[in-house]
């Protein structure tokens, strides 16, 4: 089979072109090698050629540094490389062959005189057109002297390190521009830092002034001392300095130091380093400071004690001049002083009365109550007030209004008590007479109202129909007024009344007229004025008696509930509820009705300045009255 002429000619031309290109590359490669060889000959660097796999050293021009090799040799590794370096060299060669990259390694080598030195060897791979390594061209530079200097430097540094670490002082090594170069372990411990965090930092970046101390002068004083050391090239011992340090958390801790700054001079006499040595004297300074403060405090206390003694003398002189009985107790209530008037009235001595001895002159009918109430004040720190009789030197009892107030220190703690007993016998006698007179008047009024109620009830029996019911209702209302009046005069303060017991007692009195029904009361505590008590009582009477009459069928039993609770805005809500048959469908408080009871309920609600609401409960009815009460009862 014959090829076409055109194709043969094209293939022949292609082969000739490839041969020309190959010859050109080979020529340029030879020229490059010749130039490299000429360069190396002109330098002190040894030149070598190696086979592609480094098994053979083809040429080595040692330049007096290494022994020359004129002909190829395969024992070059054993001849030039020490045994302990061979593995490292072979590993670097293998990596260069694998990556087809430069061989670059510093290693020990046997020198031309038989001794061992150091070389920095570099070799470049020569590649063919397929990218395969043909051979290696390399150069080896003598770095023996440099390595010796480095070893000497390391040895010197090691000696310096050992000497430095042997110093147990707390110090820094600073450069002339105050960059931290070294930190001793005692210094790092004393300043709560680490060497790695300090080296390379400026002194005052690592140790700034405490920003929370406007009087801090540590940075300024230390900077002045270091500047003096650099200028005069002599050590400078600073006075004790307050220089706070920063904790790892960022907060500053008070510290006091005794610094010494020492210059380290170079051969030319200039300052090469500064050793900043410190001694932590914080404990000593704080002890001195505490001692000074304690001494000052002692002097202040002595002055205060002198003033207190003068004031105590003045106070006792004034207290002895009081017409009242006076006394003082410590913070636990132990009485330790009485004024002269106490001893004159009771005929006792301090030994008899101190502590709880005062109970001996108290009336036995009152002493238990008094002890209980005054102990509560001792325990709570609240002011105390009570009224009771005390026995005089003549054996007679007189009534005293007694008060005690706590005296407190700057922190609010009770330090002692000051009390007085004021003779109110004549006033007590007047009040007792007034109470007796009030009781007598109230009794007479109650009896009179009861008589009126009874007369109305008696008259109602002779009547019939609507008139009879009206008279009976009037009788009940008069009896309710009598009940309210009776409760008012029994109160300790007839100007106000406790609403919860008032409602309970009133319900009990109303329920006696309807024994078949069950009346329940559940009321929250509240205080109302006596003026409000009468309309409240009449209002409850109307609502409860109406429930008795109308909520349940005649002869049946039922339940009526009275509830009271506080609401917002200082108001009180009264609820009278039953479980009966409910209101008529046309019942409306807004429409005029003929029922006197409804009119009474409406008028009484208005008198209380309250609101009246009626709701069906299914079963039963709920009348809700809301009215304002006194704010201090809240």
Helix or strand run (H / E) with residue 311 = helix 282-321
Across the chain, mean pLDDT equals 83
pLDDT bin (cut points 50, 70, 90) of residue 542 is confident
Q: Are 626 and 514 contained in the same domain? A: yes
- Long-range interactions of 433-441: CB distance < 8 A, separation 24+: 438/489, 438/494, 439/489
- % of residues, the chain, pLDDT over 70: 81
| pLDDT tens readout for residues 39-65 | 444 445 889 999 999 999 999 998 888
Tell me, yes or no, whether 509 and 599 share the same domain. Answer: yes
Query: What is the rounded average pLDDT of the residues 253-260?
Result: 93
* Last residue of one domain, picked from the residues 104, 119, 148: 148
Task: Supply the pLDDT for residue 227.
Answer: 95
141 and 231 in a single domain? The answer is no
> Whole domain around residue 227: which residue ranges?
167-280
Q: Side-chain half-sphere of 310: how many Cα atoms within 13 Å?
A: 5
pLDDT attached to residue 104? 95
- Rounded Cα distance between 417 and 332, Å, is 9
* Strand bridging mode 559-567 / 335-338: unpaired
pLDDT tier, 548 (very low <50, low <70, confident <90, very high otherwise): confident
pLDDT tops 50 at residue 305? yes
Work out how many domains the chain is built from and give that number. 5
Higher confidence at residue 619 or residue 37? 619
Who wins on pLDDT, 20 or 54?
Answer: 54
Domain annotation covers residue 114: yes
**Confidence category of residue 209, pLDDT binned at 50, 70, 90:** very high
pLDDT at 377: 93
23: its two tokens = 């010859």
Residue 312 maps to a domain: no
Q: Please provide residue 398's backbone torsions phi and psi, each rounded to the nearest 5 degrees.
A: -130, 150
Q: Does 419 score more than 70 pLDDT?
A: yes
Instruction: Give the per-residue pLDDT at 21.
Output: 56
pLDDT at 307: 83
Average pLDDT in the 275-299 region? Answer: 90
617 shares a domain with 539: yes
* Final residue in a domain of this structure, among 468, 490, 512: 490
> Same domain, yes or no, for 478 and 528?
no
Residues 385 and 502 in one domain: no
Percent pLDDT > 90 in the chain is 48
Rounded to an integer, the average pLDDT of 456-478 is 70
Q: Does residue 302 lie in a domain region?
A: no
416 domain-assigned = yes
Q: Which residue has the higher pLDDT, 432 or 83?
A: 83
pLDDT-wise least confident of 8-22, 300-314, 327-341: 8-22
**pLDDT for the residue 486:** 67
Q: Is the residue at 179 inside a domain?
A: yes
What is the mean pLDDT of the segment spanning 299-311?
83
In terms of domains, do 415 and 338 share one?
A: yes
- pTM, full prediction: 0.35
What's residue 617's pLDDT?
Answer: 81
The CATH number assigned to the domain holding 520 equals 3.30.565.10
Q: Looking at 395, 423, 451, which one is the last position of a domain? A: 423
Contact indicator for 118, 144 with CB cutoff of 8 Å: yes
> How much is the pLDDT for 4?
36
Q: Are residues 612 and 601 in the same domain?
A: yes
- Pair 476, 353 in one domain: no
CATH code, domain with 193: 3.30.450.20
4 located within any domain: no
Residue 459: inside a domain, yes or no?
yes
Predicted confidence (pLDDT) at residue 10 exceeds the cutoff of 50: no
For residue 303, is it within any domain? Answer: no
């Amino acid at each position: 089979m014959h090829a076409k002429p055109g194709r043969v000619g094209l293939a022949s031309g292609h082969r000739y072109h490839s041969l020309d290109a190959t010859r050109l590359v080979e020529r340029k490669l030879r020229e490059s090698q010749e130039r490299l060889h000429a360069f190396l000959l002109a330098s002190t660097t040894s030149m070598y050629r190696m086979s592609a796999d480094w098994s053979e050293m083809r040429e080595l021009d040692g330049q007096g540094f290494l022994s020359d090799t004129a002909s190829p040799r395969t024992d070059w590794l054993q001849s030039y490389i020490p045994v302990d370096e061979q593995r490292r060299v072979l590993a670097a060669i293998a990596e260069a062959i694998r990556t087809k990259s430069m061989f670059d390694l510093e290693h020990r080598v046997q020198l031309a005189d038989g001794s061992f030195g150091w070389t920095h060897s570099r070799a470049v791979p020569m590649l063919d057109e397929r990218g395969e390594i043909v051979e290696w061209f390399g150069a080896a530079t003598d770095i023996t002297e440099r390595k010796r200097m480095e070893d000497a430097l390391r040895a010197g540094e090691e000696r310096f390190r050992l000497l430095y670490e042997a110093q147990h002082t707390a110090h820094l090594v600073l450069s002339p521009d105050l960059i931290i170069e070294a930190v001793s372990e005692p210094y790092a411990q004393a300043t709560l830092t680490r060497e790695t965090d300090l080296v390379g930092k400026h002194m005052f970046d690592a140790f700034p002034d405490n920003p929370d101390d406007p009087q801090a002068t540590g940075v300024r004083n230390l900077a002045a001392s270091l500047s003096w050391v650099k200028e005069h090239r002599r050590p400078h011992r600073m006075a004790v300095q307050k220089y706070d340090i920063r904790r790892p958390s960022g907060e500053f801790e008070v510290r006091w130091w005794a610094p010494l700054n020492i210059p380290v001079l170079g051969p030319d006499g200039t300052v090469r380093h500064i050793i900043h040595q410190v001694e932590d004297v914080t404990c000593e300074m704080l002890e001195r400071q505490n001692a000074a403060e304690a001494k000052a405090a002692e002097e202040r206390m002595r002055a205060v004690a002198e003033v207190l003694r003068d004031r105590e003398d003045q106070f006792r002189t004034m207290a002895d001049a009081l017409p009242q009985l006076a006394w003082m107790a410590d913070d636990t209530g132990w009485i330790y002083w009485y004024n002269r008037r106490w001893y004159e009235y009771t005929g006792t001595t301090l030994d008899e009365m101190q502590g709880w001895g005062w109970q001996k002159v108290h009336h036995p009918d009152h002493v238990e109550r008094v002890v209980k109430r005054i102990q509560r004040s001792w325990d709570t720190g609240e002011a105390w007030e009570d009224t009771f009789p005390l026995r005089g030197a003549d054996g007679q009892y007189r009534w005293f209004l007694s008060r005690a107030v706590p005296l407190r220190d700057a922190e609010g703690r009770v330090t002692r008590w000051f009390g007085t007993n004021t003779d109110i016998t004549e006033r007590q006698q007047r009040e007792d007479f007034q109470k007796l007179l009030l009781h007598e008047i109230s009794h007479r009024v109650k009896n009179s109202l009861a008589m009126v109620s009874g007369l109305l009830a008696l008259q109602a029996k002779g009547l019939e129909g609507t008139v009879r019911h009206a008279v009976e209702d009037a009788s009940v209302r008069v009896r309710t007024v009598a009940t309210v009046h009776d409760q008012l005069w029994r109160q300790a303060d007839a100007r106000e009344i406790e609403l919860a017991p008032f409602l309970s007692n009133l319900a009990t009195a109303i329920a006696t007229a309807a024994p078949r029904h069950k009346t329940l009361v559940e009321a929250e505590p509240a205080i109302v004025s006596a003026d409000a008590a009468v309309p409240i009582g009449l209002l409850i009477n109307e609502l409860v008696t109406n429930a008795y009459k109308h909520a349940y069928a005649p002869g049946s039993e039922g339940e009526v509930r009275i509830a009271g609770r506080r609401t917002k805005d200082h108001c009180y809500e009264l609820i009278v509820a039953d479980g009966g048959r409910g209101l008529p469908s046309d019942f409306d408080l807004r429409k005029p009705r003929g029922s006197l009871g409804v009119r009474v309920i409406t008028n009484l609600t208005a008198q209380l300045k309250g609101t009246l609401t009626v709701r069906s409960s299914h079963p039963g009815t709920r009348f809700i009255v809301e009215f304002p009460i006194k704010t201090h009862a809240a």
